Amino acid sequence: MKVLWRNELNGRSGIVVEPEGYDGVPWVRELWMDRRPVALHPDRVAVAAALVFGRDAVGDLEFERPISIGVAESIKIFCRTPSLNVSPVDYEQRPFADGAGRMEIVANAFNLHKGSHFQDDRSLTLSVMRSDQYSGSLISSSGLVVSSNAYLHDAHSEKREGTAYGSLAIGVLFSEDLGLDVCSTSGSSLPIAASEMLVASGLRTL
């Protein structure tokens, strides 16, 4: 499965996958958002892609840029496919993406009055809004609102695994832009394998 980043003329950006060989065809092949993150650390892109599409991959899971060995190994564990070959991998330890503070990821609700960029214990909200109902993005000192089709992936992964991975993937992608290193979602706690993937990319989960 090839994982690609696309920026489209109509203003949306996101992860697009091309299944190959024995890969399953994902229900929706793209994770779109109405704002392109400025910082796209390859580890964070890989983790976001694995959360949403990894379980459909069987043979090669190929990214556009080299990822850390730790992230590659955690992706293989998360995808539960022994034959999965994650590439390309950079075996030299690289710096994690910058950030300190907490991101509360909320699906389909505005919650911008909680927290602030400018408090000591930084805590911001990422509201991931449904792209069939909202268009565009909005930034404030309290957080970011962005429209995305993550809601479809949330519904799909909740049905399959009991966890909403779509919105979490959006959070991973914007974590560096917002300068945060903790991703938290409402609902049940994250499975360990998913949590380890985020940790491998320099994030924490609470």
Partner 1 sequence: MTEPIEMSVVIGFKNWGLRRLGLAISSVQEAFGSVRGEVIVSDYGSDEYAETERLAKSLGAIYIYTPTDGVWSRSRALNIGFAQASGEVLACTDADMIFKPGSMERIHDAAVREPTATILVECRDLPPEWSDREISEKGPDWERFDRISKLRGRWGMGGMVAVSRDVFTKVRGLDERMHTYGCEDIDFGERTQRAGNKILWLRDPGVRMFHMWHPPSGPAAEANPLELKTINANREILYNDRSYVRNMTNWLCQSNPKRPLVTVSIATRNRADLLPDAIYSVLAQTVQDFEIIVVDDGSTDNTHAVIEGFADHRIRYFFQENRGIAAARNRAVKEARGRYVAVLDDDDIMLPWRLESQIASIGAGQHGSYGSFVNFDNDTAELTMFHEKQVSVTTAFQKGGAPGHSTWMVETDLLRLVEYDESIISGEDNNLFLRLLRSGARLSHCGEAVVLRRLHSTQITQTDNRIHERYAAANRYFFRFNTPMAEASKIEEIGNRAPWVTVRGGKDFSNLVRPYLPDHLIQRTLVIDEADVASEQLLEDIRASVDGFVDVSRYSAGGVLINRALIVKTATHRTMAELRKLGVKYAVQLEDGAESISGSEPDLMESELARFVEENTATDIGKTSLALLVVHPSAFKLDNLGRGFEMHTNSIRVGDESYFAHVLKTQSMTAAVEKAKALSVNDHVLRLDVFTNNAPSKVSDYLSLSGGAS
Nearer residue to partner 1 within complex by CB, 86 or 97: 86
x-marked contacts with partner 1 along 101-140 as a string, rule CB under 8 A: -----------------------------xxxx-xxx---
Nearer residue to partner 1 within complex by CB, 129 or 182: 129
Rule CB under 8 A: say whether 9 interacts with partner 1. Answer: yes
Are 100 and 176 in contact by the 8 Å Cβ rule? The answer is no
Least Å distance between CB 151 and partner 1? 7
Nearer residue to partner 1 within complex by CB, 90 or 177: 177
The DSSP 8-state label assigned to residue 97 in this structure reads P
Q: Which helix (H) or strand (E) holds 159?
A: helix 150-161
Number of residues counted as binding partner 1 (CB under 8 A):
38
Give the span between the Cα atoms of 105 and 127, in whole angstroms. 6
Nearer residue to partner 1 within complex by CB, 152 or 200: 152
Residue ranges of E strands in the chain: 2-7, 13-18, 30-33, 60-68, 85-90, 102-107, 123-130, 137-140, 143-148, 182-185, 204-205
x-marked contacts with partner 1 along 48-67 as a string, rule CB under 8 A: -------xxxx---------
Judged by CB under 8 A, which stretch of 102-110, 118-126, 149-157, 184-192 contacts partner 1? Answer: 149-157
Q: Is 8 left (phi over 0), alpha (psi -120 to 50) or beta?
A: beta
Are 32 and 131 in contact by the 8 Å Cβ rule? The answer is yes
Binding site for partner 1 (CB under 8 A): 8-12, 19, 22-30, 32, 34, 55-58, 80-83, 130-133, 135-137, 147, 149, 151-152, 155, 160
